Amino acid sequence: MKRLILAVAVLAAVAGRGSGQQIPTTADYLKGIKAVGREGQGNDVAASCWKGLVATGEAALLPTLEAFAGANPTAANWLRSAVDAITEGEEKAGKKLPTEALRTFLTTTTHDPAARRIAYEVLAKADPTAAEKIILSLRDDPSVELRRDAIAKAIATLKDGDKVPESLFTAARDKDQVEEIGKRLNKSEADITNHFGFIPKWHVVGPFDNTKGEGFAKAYPPEQGVDLKATYDGKGGAKVTWKAATAKAKDKEYALVDLNAELTKHKDAVAYGFAVIEVAKETPVELRAGSITSIKMFVNGKEVFDRDEYHHGMKMDQHVGKATLKTGKNELLVKICQNNMTEPWAQSWAFQFRVCDATGGAIPFKLLSPEAK
């Protein structure tokens, strides 16, 4: 309702141009665009505001970039289009863009990462030398996209025979860049696994029943508290106990726990993985997992993520939960469900799991023996 009222007010301001009413400002236009709903509600207002914003020209460029902060995806698309139209209009008119302001915006890490990346693109056209100088300094930037650009540029500037600096491997976050640099530095699989912060050793237990997919919502005993010495009533009345499992590289994925191999193949089943890590101080983290089937993540007994879907593909970091680790020991529990699909491509039952910061960089942690909990 607030968004609708705002949109109506902005539209009224825009419609009032030339009628003696107050002329809308750049801020008015931006409010109208940011009021657009995810389902397209308010698109008419956004379109009118977009025209006014673009007509404002260069003076609206930096405010538009700043407006990315807090914008929903639909509004961000409108803002991106406005930036493109403004810069194109200024170039056609033979006017210079505010390169100094763009440099300041780009190097201010508190601005929205997507907006900073767009500012870099604009600056690269307006002042390529300045843009290249800045991007080479951003290999440790909190913006993953700018970090990627910086690392790619650093690699491209290496001459034949130059050794890739170890610092580039440390700074890299994207899988393809890590693998490329790792290959040139002769990094081992273990080096890459550690670089990403994957958990390499687990205890797993199962199967529990997931007939009709009902096991996803059902809290089996491990969710009430983990006892590695316990024996549980599993699927079909079978007795199940915890067992150690080592994650391995498989199918171009790192640190994969293959539950079919660890627990034997089951359908309509639930399994749990458990690990304990220790950190030196309270640390906000992202828990990133890959799983082709339904998954839940828990930290110290609290659920932090769930996704109930099956066999829609698996890739690194497809599931991301956020948590804050406490100083000392922290318990990680992951729940992985399997359905009853019989197709050959629906037989995988596995997961990979890593602990990292918001950029995807591994945080310092020590993997403890689960008995140490």
- For residue 60, the number of C-alpha atoms closer than 13 Å in the C-beta half-sphere is 28
The pLDDT, as a whole number, for residue 372 is: 54
Q: Along the 373 residues of the chain, how does pLDDT read in single tens digits?
A: 344 344 444 555 554 444 456 789 999 999 999 999 877 788 899 999 999 999 999 999 999 999 999 999 999 999 999 999 999 999 999 999 999 999 999 999 999 999 999 999 999 999 999 999 999 999 999 999 999 999 999 999 998 888 999 999 999 999 999 999 999 999 999 999 999 999 999 999 999 999 999 999 999 999 999 999 999 999 999 999 999 999 999 888 999 999 999 999 999 999 999 999 999 999 999 999 999 999 999 999 999 999 999 999 999 999 999 999 999 999 999 999 999 999 988 899 999 999 999 999 999 999 998 765 5
> Is 29:56 a contact under the CB 8 Å cutoff?
yes
Close Cβ partners of 128 (under 8 Å, ≥ 6 residues apart): none
The pLDDT, as a whole number, for residue 213 is: 96
User: Comparing C-alpha atoms, which of 263, 274, 271 is closest to residue 209?
Assistant: 271
The pLDDT, as a whole number, for residue 14 is: 52
Close Cβ partners of 273 (under 8 Å, ≥ 6 residues apart): 202, 203, 204, 245, 257, 333, 334, 336, 351, 353
**Could you tell me the CA-to-CA distances from 144 to 59, 132, 303 in Å, in that order?**
28, 17, 27
The pLDDT, as a whole number, for residue 38 is: 74
**Could you tell me the CA-to-CA distances from 103 to 19, 108, 123, 272 in Å, in that order?**
39, 9, 7, 49
Cis amide bond preceding 207, omega within 30 = yes
Domains, the chain, with CATH or none: 144-187 (no CATH), 198-372 (2.60.120)
SS3 call for 217:
coil
